[in-house]
Copies of this chain bind each other. A is one copy, B any other.
Amino acid sequence: MNKKNVIAYCPVDYAFKRIGGKYKGRILWVLRDSCMRYGELKRAIIGITPKMLTQTLRELEADELVSRKVYLEVPPKVEYSLTSTGEELIPLIKQLRSWGEKQMSRN
């Protein structure tokens, strides 16, 4: 657990710190029903730079929402998947999506 937790006195804030940020929601969502390799994620999350992808994945990993499995092969292979804690968020993200979709179509 990182430093942010210490000051996250409020559960709402705590949750937002963990799944907020520009790409975390999208990454968790695309990982919802299968693991993915780094390159697959890079293609799936349109517009993300390698730096941000790595950085975001590291944060998700530190928060134990995503796990990282390295295969010692050449060429390298790394797979990312949701942890059980991460999976608990999927229904929640699903609802967020529904709400978002509904709002977006209000025009």
| Residue positions of A touching B, CB distance < 8 A | 1, 5, 8, 10-16, 18, 20, 22, 25-26, 29, 85, 88-89, 91-93, 95-101, 103-104, 107
Q: Which of B8, B10, B91, B107 contacts A1 (CB 8 A)?
A: B107
Tell me how many chains of this kind the complex includes: 2
Contacting residue for A12 out of B8, B12, B26, CB 8 A: B26
Q: Compute how far the CA of A69 lies from the CA of B65 in the bound complex, rounded to whole angstroms.
A: 41
Q: List 25 A-B contacts (CB under 8 A).
A: A1-B107, A8-B100, A8-B104, A11-B96, A11-B97, A11-B98, A11-B99, A11-B100, A11-B104, A12-B96, A13-B25, A14-B103, A15-B99, A15-B100, A15-B103, A16-B96, A18-B100, A85-B103, A88-B99, A91-B95, A92-B92, A92-B95, A92-B96, A92-B99, A95-B95
